[in-house]
Structure formats: C-alpha cells, structure tokens
C-alpha cells in the first residue's frame, strides 16, 4: 500500500474522566474514502477534530502525509492548511458573497492572488453545479446550495484530505441528495476523504473502508461489503439493524 494520507496510531482522547477515543488506529490510503459510522457520542466528530488538530490527543500519534502532526513542534495552522473540513452546519460567513466566502482562505492564509483565487473558485462552483451563484449571499441559497458552497470552500485550498462531519444532517431530506451527489463526484475525482455519516445507504456505496465506532473504539472495520454485508460483531449487527 502507498503511504497513508492520514494515520492514527493508538490515539486516546479523554474529556475529564470520559474516555472518548480509546486506542484508535486508522490508516487512510490516498484516493480512498473512509466512512465512520456509530451511534451518537461514539467519538466520530472527536476523531475528525483530532485529525485536524482542533483537539489535542492525550496519547498516541497522528501523521498527515508522513509528517507527525501530533509532534508539539508542529505548527497547527500549517497542518490545517492542508486539510479541508466541512461540518454539519454550513458556517458560511453571512456578510460575504459566495465568491468571497470561498476565496477568503486562499487569499488570506495561502497568499494566493485575488485573480487566481477567484478563477479557481469559479471553476469549482461550476463543477459543483453552482455557476451563477458566485455573487449571491448565503441567505439567498437553499441549505443544500449552502452546504455545496461550504464544500467548494473546503476544496479551494487544494487540500490533501477532506474531512466531512455529518454534512447532510441539518438538511431537509429533499436537499440531501444534491450534497451526496457532490461527494460522489469528489470520490470519482480521487479525493481522499474521511466521512462521518448516518446516511447508511450512501456510506455503503462510497466507502472503501468502513469503521464502526462504539464507545470511542473501532469496534469493527473492513470494506463496505464486509461491514455492511456480513458484520462480524454483535454490536455492529445491532447498530445496523436499528439504523437501516
Ligand atoms: P459523535 O460525533 O460520534 O456523536 P463525539 O465525538 O461528538 O461523538 O462525542 C463523543 C463523546 O465525547 C460524547 O460523549 C461527547 O459528549 C463527548 N465530548 C465531545 N466533545 C466534548 C468536549 N469538548 N468536552 C466534553 N465532552 C465532549
Ligand atoms: Mg458528531
């Protein structure tokens, strides 16, 4: 296997006395999709937040593209520049146009010129079916469009890795499809992604690797066919029966 884009080794995260991630190992190969499934509170968001250094780990180590990012000497901003993140709530800046939302980080953080940033933003908007929305403000867009803009914004800095945390959970059901369609497109383009989701049909379809988290542990992992098609652990079976 080529060296992983993301590697977690024995990661432990504790809040107070609550062990939220317990001895978590994970390898994410380039151009693959890893899906995290598990009940609410099982640690999916915390895992993604640790990968993006929004949380510090209490033990273990994390590598991004061969660099140990949990090394205290590492500049967290430098790491975050290499990772795109989209959360459940779209978090677009309401006072900025779509184009300005997207070009803010490339221009301010990455030092890209306005022209280059805007060209790239327009190309991405076009690709994600949002051509014509560049000058609109977020409140003019539907939830699905806003979330697609948030994805464009995450892609605008050309990240090595995209982390998606329940990106359809806040959407009206009829808007979920258009956002998942975008993620399918990114997979086809070879984007490396780690996705936390409750959309099991979608997870089954896009995942190269599935990790079932329970109580902060990777309780079961495998290919989509393995975990969804023939889960080995009782707890995985129970979870999948409940949710599907
Ligand atoms: P999931 O995303 O799978 O629903 P989370 O990673 O959000 O799970 O949460 C895992 C556990 O960690 C939950 O019990 C949650 O209450 C707890 N937790 C998450 N963030 C914090 C925090 N900042 N302080 C204390 N507990 C937290
Ligand atoms: Mg979560």
pLDDT, tens digit, for every residue of 161-200? 999 999 999 888 988 998 999 999 999 999 999 999 999 9
pLDDT, tens digit, for every residue of 137-151? 999 999 999 999 999
Tell the residue nearest (CA) to atom 25 of ligand 1: 15
pLDDT, tens digit, for every residue of 36-62? 999 999 999 999 999 999 999 999 999
pLDDT at 225: 97
How far is it, in rounded angstroms, from Cα 112 to Cα 98? 17
Residue 30 CB less than 6 A away from ligand 1: no
pLDDT at 244: 66
Tell the residue nearest (CA) to atom 27 of ligand 1: 15
Q: For the packed helices 98-108 and 114-127, what is the interaxial angle rounded to 10 degrees?
A: 130
Tell the residue nearest (CA) to atom 15 of ligand 1: 41
pLDDT at 219: 97
- Name the band, by pLDDT with cuts 50, 70 and 90, for residue 1: low
Element (H, E) at 183: helix 173-188
* Angle (nearest 5°) at CA 217 between 212 and 223: 30
> Which numbered atom of ligand 1 lies nearest the CA of 36?
3
What's the mean pLDDT in 115-119? 95
Is the CB of residue 168 less than 8 Å from the CB of residue 176?
yes
Residue 153 CB less than 6 A away from ligand 1: no
Share of the chain above pLDDT 70, in %: 99
Residue 147 CB less than 6 A away from ligand 1: no
Residue 49 CB less than 6 A away from ligand 1: no
Ligand 2 mean position, distance from CA 120 (Å): 31
Tell the residue nearest (CA) to atom 14 of ligand 1: 41
Residue 45 CB less than 6 A away from ligand 1: yes
pLDDT at 164: 97
Higher pLDDT, 244 or 105: 105
Bridge partner list, 162 = 84, 193
**Does the pLDDT of residue 231 top 70, yes or no?**
yes
> Which numbered atom of ligand 1 lies nearest the CA of 46?
6
How far is it, in rounded angstroms, from Cα 7 to Cα 25? 7
Residue 185 CB less than 6 A away from ligand 1: no
Q: HEC profile for 25-56?
A: EEEECCCCEEEEECCCCCCHHHHHHHHCCCCC
- Name the band, by pLDDT with cuts 50, 70 and 90, for residue 90: confident
Report yes or no on whether pTM surpasses 0.90. Answer: yes
- Name the band, by pLDDT with cuts 50, 70 and 90, for residue 124: very high
What's the mean pLDDT in 12-34? 97
- Chain centre to alpha carbon of residue 166: 8
**Does the pLDDT of residue 95 top 80, yes or no?**
yes
């Amino acid at each position: 296997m080529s060296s992983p884009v993301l590697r977690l080794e024995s990661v432990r995260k504790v809040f107070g006395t609550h062990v939220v991630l317990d001895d978590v190992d994970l390898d994410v190969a380039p151009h693959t999709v890893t899906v995290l499934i598990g009940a609410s509170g099982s640690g999916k968001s915390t895992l993604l937040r640790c990968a993006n250094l929004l949380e510090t780990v209490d033990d273990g180590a994390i590598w991004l593209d061969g660099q140990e990012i949990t090394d205290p000497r590492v500049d967290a901003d430098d790491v975050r520049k290499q990772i795109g993140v989209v959360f459940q709530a779209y978090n677009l800046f309401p006072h900025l146009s779509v184009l300005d939302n997207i070009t803010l980080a490339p221009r301010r953080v990455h030092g890209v010129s306005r022209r280059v940033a805007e060209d790239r933003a327009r190309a991405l908007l076009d690709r994600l079916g949002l051509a014509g929305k560049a000058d609109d403000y977020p409140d003019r867009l539907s939830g699905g469009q806003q979330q697609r803009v948030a994805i464009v914004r995450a892609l605008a800095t050309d990240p090595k890795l995209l982390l998606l945390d329940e990106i359809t959970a806040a959407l009206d059901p009829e808007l979920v499809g258009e956002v998942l369609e975008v993620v399918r497109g990114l997979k086809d383009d070879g984007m490396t992604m780690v996705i936390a989701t409750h959309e099991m049909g979608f997870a089954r379809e896009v995942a190269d690797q599935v990790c079932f988290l329970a109580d902060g542990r990777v309780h079961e992992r495998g290919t989509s066919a393995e975990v969804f098609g023939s889960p080995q652990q009782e707890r995985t079976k129970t979870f999948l029966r409940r949710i599907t």
